[in-house]
Amino acid sequence: MRKHTLRAAAVSVAVLTAVSLAGCGTRSSDAGSGSSSGDVKTDFGVTDDTITLGVMSDFSVVYGPLAKTVYAGDQIWADEVNAAGGICGRKIKFDVQDQKMDTQLANTEYAGMKNDVLGLVHLLGSPIISSLLPQIKADHMPTIAVGWSADYLGTPEIAVLGTTYDLDEINGVQHLVDEGKIHKGAAIGHIYMAGDFGENAAEGAKYAAGKLGLTYVGKKVDATATDISAEMSALKAAGVKAILVSTGPKQTAMVASQAPSLGLDVPILVNAPSYDPSLLQSPAAATVLKNLEVVTSMVPYAGDSEGQKKIQEGFAKVAEKGVNPTQHAGYGYAGATVLGEAIKAACEDGDLTRQSVVDHLRELDSVDTDGIYPALDFSDPATPSSTKSVILKAAKNEGGLKQVGDYFASPLQDGYKR
Amino acid sequence: MSERRLTTHLAKPAAAGIAIVVLLLVPLYFDASWTIIGVFSMGAAIAAIGLTILSGSAGQLSLAHAAFMAVGAYAYAFFAGVRGDEHYAGLGLPPLAAAVLAVVVAGIAGLAFSPVAARLRGFYLGVSTIGLVFIAQWVMKDAARLTGGVNGRSVEPLTVGGFELSGSNPTHQLTVLGVPFGGTERLWYVSLLLLLAAIVAAARILHARPGRALKLVRDNESAAAAMGISVQRAKATAFILSSAFAGVGGVLFALASNFIGSGNFDLLVSMSYLAMVVIGGLGSVGGAVAGAVFVMALPLLLNKFSDSIPFLAAPGSNGYTAGVVAQIVYGVVVVAVIIGRPEGVASFFRTSRRAPAAGRLPTPSPARQTL
């Protein structure tokens, strides 16, 4: 009996001590909401002299090399903006986190940075974006998603730059037919990877093939597939006259190296993430140079538009040694430009809160990204900011790609619905 | 009762009481970037308790723990999922009922595997459980309506009577002592409650007849059978219990990350659960909790703090970035703990009992027990 009383007493003393300690100073209401700094209204990530933007990317696991060049593009933009006095009289600063494609890590990092950043200028990875989506919506966090999946559309807070994969494929198949590389009644093969990128591309390719009287032969492969010879044999057996590829660069290399040995000397049309300049150092280089084209809405690294020149000049300054330039630096630069335009507009309105930046982002109906993209229209969250594509050809230059022809959009898009 | 007996008797409940109170107060002082680590750790701790019952007390090596967690997580997502959604299948059940059902389903999954478990032991069982992980991975990637395929699927927040206990719905605002309580803070309390329940339940099971039966089956099956213990039943019980705990851990993980994908439940995750119970001390409930917090929180905390270490390479560059260093430090610490404390973290708390009080038998060291 006595023992129990003492136990209870010990516990209650402990509880009382702790509760009384609790009385003094909790972290009651963090600063942020509704304050104002200087002449504009602000909430998160904005002080009198800096605007902090978040970068959450996978620098080390799946998309390491790609993410580093995208981030280089972000930095080139920030250097340019800061040299010109910043936005709203405030310098741009990045809070950079490596989420390693781990949703757990990403959630922790997001919770850590969300009160310190105005928006996310670079968020990469489908699982990461899906996992953070409810919080991004609740926090009204203006976000630039890296990638062109149509799955990212439909959220006012999240901006996707350029043409989504499905529309790229429609344009791409149209291009093959228009160029006379494939004719009505022929079969067209598609190697695409499981997941939103490949499946989104497949939706568009299948639709376009149907409309243009082509037989569509789609083969889904695992994102980590190291052997696609069965799929390639199936394409050979179907007698395809062109191959679409929506996978990682490794599988693109497999397609390009196996096609000649199967007697498939046909055009290979790939999406932007499926290409890497290192393909030109691989045994498949000859086929890549001869047959491979990229369909995307973004210009290559090499070129002489204003934006391309700025990236070429700035790349060496911001990139580590050993990081080779790729087209994707343009995504970082253009993505930051778009968010920057929204912040500028919000500043002119005297309201630099997140909600205001999101609202102004959705008022941008013709953003000029210095020629990296065609004019981008963000007014409708549910539709892509562009519907045009451009054809790039593998070339032995910086970035490994050169532009052939101008931007175009297939009339078939009108009847397309996801 | 002597003075010494009295203090030792009081030490444990007092320590537990203080620990609980401190944990209750954490969300008042630390923001979501800390509490989210706690939520992930507590979820992992519950699942690890399940594994320590199975591998520590019942001596059955399992590498399929992540698969059972996946069953719990996806079952919750399915039961609570919106009915008639265009992408995912869902039953639209109230989330609380969905959570309970999900744990039951995870337990049933464990029962379904128990005929295999009853026929195999040790490493052979371990290898056969790897098969389960591969099957689970395949199902997760292929049953796209149910699991969202390779992309994964989103998870409905937990609500009780219309009140959200997780998620980030801005219209559900709650302020306690001037502190805004968002989804993470609320989930912290849900996790804490479940963790306490799991600790009490596991301790009661292990210290009572079923637990002693499990240990006897582990040490000597024939002796157990001779005592009238049904060996098959004991093994099946262990698998059901362990996978039900895994199911709770899986549901909490799903709620904390709002989204689940096949990558969250792969073989590597199973291995890290094995690491948790080994680091904690096989068979010890407290050890499993400590091991889980260690394995789960350390990399996240290191990652959090490494930002403020000045001499590291900037993220996005090629050098030793904060993330890379966090992984190296984590690896070194794991090895150091295993070498320094082969009996697990639990042994830190046992040293004071090196001279056992009269009337108490020293407990055998778990590390020397064979699997």
Output the DSSP codes for A88-132: TTBEEEEEEEE-TT-HHHHHHHHHHHTTT-SEEEEEE-HHHHHHH
Instruction: Please tell me the distance in Å from A355's CA to the nearest CA on chain B.
Output: 13
Please give chain A's pLDDT, 418 residues, in tens.
455 665 666 556 555 555 555 555 566 554 444 555 567 888 888 988 899 999 999 887 777 788 889 999 999 999 999 999 989 889 999 998 888 888 888 888 898 888 889 999 999 988 888 888 888 988 899 999 998 989 889 999 999 999 999 999 999 999 999 998 998 899 999 999 888 889 999 999 999 999 999 999 999 998 778 888 999 999 999 999 999 999 988 889 999 999 999 989 999 999 999 998 889 988 889 999 999 999 999 999 988 888 898 999 989 888 877 778 899 999 999 999 999 999 999 998 889 999 999 999 999 999 988 889 999 999 999 999 999 999 999 998 888 999 998 999 999 998 898 7
The total of other beta-carbon atoms located within 10 Å of residue B9's CB is 16
Q: Do A15 and B17 touch (CB under 8 A)?
A: yes
Residue of A nearest to B306 (CA): A97
Residue of B nearest to A151 (CA): B151
Mutation site, A104, A203, A318, interface B, largest B CB count within 10 A: A104
**What ipTM score was computed for the predicted complex, to two decimals?**
0.75
Q: Which residues of A touch B14 (CB under 8 A)?
A: 7, 10-11, 13-14
- For B179, the closest of A18, A27, A323 (CB atoms) is A27
Q: Do A112 and B17 touch (CB under 8 A)?
A: no
Q: Which residues of A touch B269 (CB under 8 A)?
A: none
pTM: 0.81
Instruction: Cite the beta strand spans of B110-188 per DSSP E.
Output: 153-154, 159-160, 163-164, 175-176, 179-180
Q: Do A104 and B304 touch (CB under 8 A)?
A: no
pLDDT of residue B354: 45
Q: Residue B174 in 3-state DSSP?
A: coil
Q: Which residues of B touch A101 (CB under 8 A)?
A: 263
CA distances from A358 to A36, A139, A154, B124, B126 (A): 18, 11, 13, 56, 52
Do residues A360 and A87 make contact, with C-beta atoms less than 8 angstroms apart?
no
- For B179, the closest of A26, A97, A115 (CB atoms) is A26
Instruction: Please tell me the distance in Å from B185's CA to the nearest CA on chain A.
Output: 12
For residue B90 the two structure tokens come to 């869902």
Q: Which residues of B touch A107 (CB under 8 A)?
A: 36, 40, 256-258
For residue B260 the two structure tokens come to 């689940």
Q: Which residues of B touch A139 (CB under 8 A)?
A: 168
